[in-house]
Structure 1
């Protein structure tokens, strides 16, 4: 079955990913839902341990079935991936969906040339000859801005700079023209200049290939540059979602307020102190009841009846915008105005 243009290219419904460990069950993702349209970029943001990477590794089917329980629906272009066979997922990976990992050096084999590694992906999914695969590798290196690609195709990963290795990883991910690209913090280890180049490259390639992108990061500044829509995760759940401009201009959840308050501003006074979120992310072995952010939330006491500690807030989505918080709209506007006036966000 193939979706129509009116349907989301990727649709996640009530996804739960739990890991069995000696200490108990880790609820890494606990009831996550979102859609991604064709040719759009969804930025998923949150602290380490929020469930960002687990979500996307699950989409790709990169989990240990002996220790992982997956519930919910993962529908890609009309096809259900949860419960799909290993053979089906292997065929889709690299061909219809691909991933760029954070550490390119660790992800590339040190024993094979860049061209061989890109070419093998192409050969596996197309049955191309070695000669055709080499030509395709050179073409992809040229597309991602590697100078002298016909010569650099025979280099090993250690002969590339960090930025060039990341470009090579992007070339490998896009060699079979996948329609879904998952980028897991691909610019974290790079300097600011190279980071900007990689971001521009992804946007250019998206326009060329029409690819849908999921961009995982902890940095809202990166989200502001590349994303169309934003999904904020905390403790394995989505706490806020919406178009990038709306989430960054008028955030609705206290956790998003905290993320914005902990970021330095390039256009504001240099002496304004940052406001880090107090405490630590929750244990997913024994997560807090109610709203998982409530132990760290400065506004939980403003909600009557201790609801934040006892009742899980529902994620109410209207026109692609929503949040999971017990604060009323009036309280939210008041607190947001106070935070803005005090330069806390």
Structure 2
């Protein structure tokens, strides 16, 4: 395995997140949902964030949008969007940015869209608010966007309610809503989870086409590595509220270096593999973020921690550096040896 050249970060970043920490107050205690997360997203590029449920993916991106309740959450660090610090921005400033400069495609459009208003009204109102457009101008723009995302007879469907759309059409309408004001940052939170494979492929192709047209930076959240392989330029693997590995799509999927990434890839079925080869699930369960493990968050489930000298894995938290890196105490030589001998044969 050859050593990958780290990508530069920071200077070209449209979104820069540094040492982000998000904690929630609950009846059971403090939930450390995100703990020291840093990443960049460049203009016109897609960052894929992958990991199991509860790893902090959605919490991170809701924090970017400023959608957490300040009475029950504590947020520290820095989120810089095109030179503007979001964590110190007022609610009024954030409202000007949401739906305008940054937008989100939610996982379930049926619950994200209001059942009491027509699809057309829900598309038009943000455009009138952010762009000062007239009702007619907003309707024309909404019909244009519905047509662009592939909704048949958009003028007629403009007055339909969300329940009158199929699942795939609602997701397309949600994408149209997010793109109404040409946002420079688009966050897609598992936008194809509930869709069948054919519609899923159509939605992914649509997002790629629209990104080329509008030049948006995209954060794509998913647990499906197959999806991310076709969508992202870079990948960040999250576990237990922390980043485990980061690199380009090719680096992370072809030469993964972290035991958690190895586990994700080894447990993923492949169409071109021998049907007799058994999948290897990751042992154990994700950690409780009320009382996360000391040291490496993944150490209780890691089958390679006995190769690390002493008790580093359970006492010292490994840090993720800039560019191509992993948060792991295994040495580079150990990672290379394990990957070549045990992991790479499974991925062929």
Q: CA-to-partner distance for each residue in 1:225-267, whole Å, 9 max, x for gaps?
A: 1000000001100010000011000001000000001100111
Residue 338 of structure 1 is matched in structure 2 by 341
| TM-superposed deviation, 1:343 | 2.1
Task: Give, in whole Å, the separation in 1 of the partners of 2:178 and 2:343.
Answer: 41
| TM-superposed deviation, 1:125 | 0.8
- The one of the two structures with greater contact order (alpha-carbon pairs below 8 A, sep at least 6) is 2
**After superposition, where does 1:143-222 map in structure 2 within 5 Å?**
143-222=148-227
Residue 238 of structure 1 is matched in structure 2 by 243
Whether contact under 8 Å (1:10, 1:37) holds in the other structure is yes
| TM-superposed deviation, 1:155 | 1.2
Q: CA-to-partner distance for each residue in 1:117-172, whole Å, 9 max, x for gaps?
A: 10011111112111111111100001111111111111111111111100000000
Task: Give, in whole Å, the separation in 1 of the partners of 2:347 and 2:247.
Answer: 22
Residue 292 of structure 2 is matched in structure 1 by 287
Residue 325 of structure 1 is matched in structure 2 by 328
| TM-superposed deviation, 1:316 | 2.6
Question: 1:260 is paired with a residue of what secondary structure?
Answer: helix
Task: Give, in whole Å, the separation in 2 of the partners of 1:149 and 1:120.
Answer: 17
Task: Give, in whole Å, the separation in 1 of the partners of 2:242 and 2:311.
Answer: 20
| TM-superposed deviation, 1:344 | 6.8
Question: 1:18 is paired with a residue of what secondary structure?
Answer: strand
- 193-202 vs 268-277, which deviates more? 268-277
Q: 2:64 aligns with which of 48, 55, 59?
A: 59
**After superposition, where does 1:55-134 map in structure 2 within 5 Å?**
55-134=60-139
How many residues get paired?
339
| TM-superposed deviation, 1:109 | 1.2
Question: 2:272 is paired with a residue of what secondary structure?
Answer: coil
Task: Give, in whole Å, the separation in 2 of the partners of 1:152 and 1:230.
Answer: 37
Question: 1:73 is paired with a residue of what secondary structure?
Answer: strand
CA gap of 1:125–1:292, structure 2 versus 1, over 3 A, is same
Question: 2:21 is paired with a residue of what secondary structure?
Answer: strand
Q: CA RMSD in A?
A: 1.2
| TM-superposed deviation, 1:341 | 5.6
Task: Give, in whole Å, the separation in 1 of the partners of 2:39 and 2:347.
Answer: 29
Residue 265 of structure 2 is matched in structure 1 by 260
Whether contact under 8 Å (1:239, 1:324) holds in the other structure is yes
Task: Give, in whole Å, the separation in 1 of the partners of 2:155 and 2:320.
Answer: 51
Unaligned runs of 5+ in 2: 1-9
TM-score by length of 2: 0.95
Task: Give, in whole Å, the separation in 2 of the partners of 1:7 and 1:191.
Answer: 36
Question: 1:305 is paired with a residue of what secondary structure?
Answer: coil
| TM-superposed deviation, 1:83 | 1.8
Unaligned runs of 5+ in 1: none
TM-score by length of 1: 0.96
| TM-superposed deviation, 1:6 | 4.6
